[in-house]
Chain A
Amino acid sequence: AQRVTQPEKLLSVFKGAPVELKCNYSYSGSPELFWYVQYSRQRLQLLLRHISRESIKGFTADLNKGETSFHLKKPFAQEEDSAMYYCALRLQGAQKLVFGQGTRLTINP
């Protein structure tokens, strides 16, 4: 079955430190991966899509098909990065997304 796993429910790092949020997926087809972010009291918003290969707010993510991972990275964390982050998988040929359980990131001053 298709599955997205975010192994860390909570992640806390200091401002200026590197941050990596882990995402692993289980899917036999051709995956499309996304990262969504939800800041406090705001709606979920799209952060990254692997096809775009963009860097948004300093975050990057590389799809590693060999390791079935799509980890989100930022070299220098900022306090405004504190939020809930969700990794999501779109199945080939489908319009539905499968979400991971989410990681709550806290950046300490």
Chain B
Amino acid sequence: DAGITQSPRHKVTETGTPVTLRCHQTENHRYMYWYRQDPGHGLRLIHYSYGVKDTDKGEVSDGYSVSRSKTEDFLLTLESATSSQTSVYFCAISAGQGGYEQYFGPGTRLTVT
């Protein structure tokens, strides 16, 4: 599992509240990613990080922010959760041959009511 954990694994929250999801890795990988998984859309990249304090936007970044103050932790924050952000969120790291293979965390199921 490439030493990737996510917390919480499940969360229910109300519209308008802030939510932070955490991704933790134990193997010092440089690149980390946040995706959301929705039926009919597959996986879509939200944000990614290429080092401590170095982040960039993905294709669906509106309404999300990220932070990476330590190599091992990559946080995803929903500033004011909306029902459209109900989804399963996956964290990933790059590793393997050439560093181009991605390995995923177990996912966080977020429900915004």
Total A-B residue pairs with C-beta atoms closer than 8 Å? 51
Among A9, A45, A49, A86, point to the contact of B43 (Cβ < 8 A): A86
Which of B58, B100, B105: most chain A CB closer than 10 A?
B100
A95 and B42 form a contact (CB under 8 A): no
Interface residues of A in 11-67 (CB under 8 A from B): 32, 34, 43-46, 49, 51-52
A87's nearest neighbour on chain B, judged by CB, is B42
Among B1, B42, B45, B50, point to the contact of A43 (Cβ < 8 A): B1
Interface band, chain B: 20 to 34
Chain A interface residue count, Cβ-Cβ cutoff 8 angstroms: 21
B104 and A44 form a contact (CB under 8 A): yes
Among B41, B45, B90, B96, point to the contact of A96 (Cβ < 8 A): B45
B97 and A51 form a contact (CB under 8 A): yes
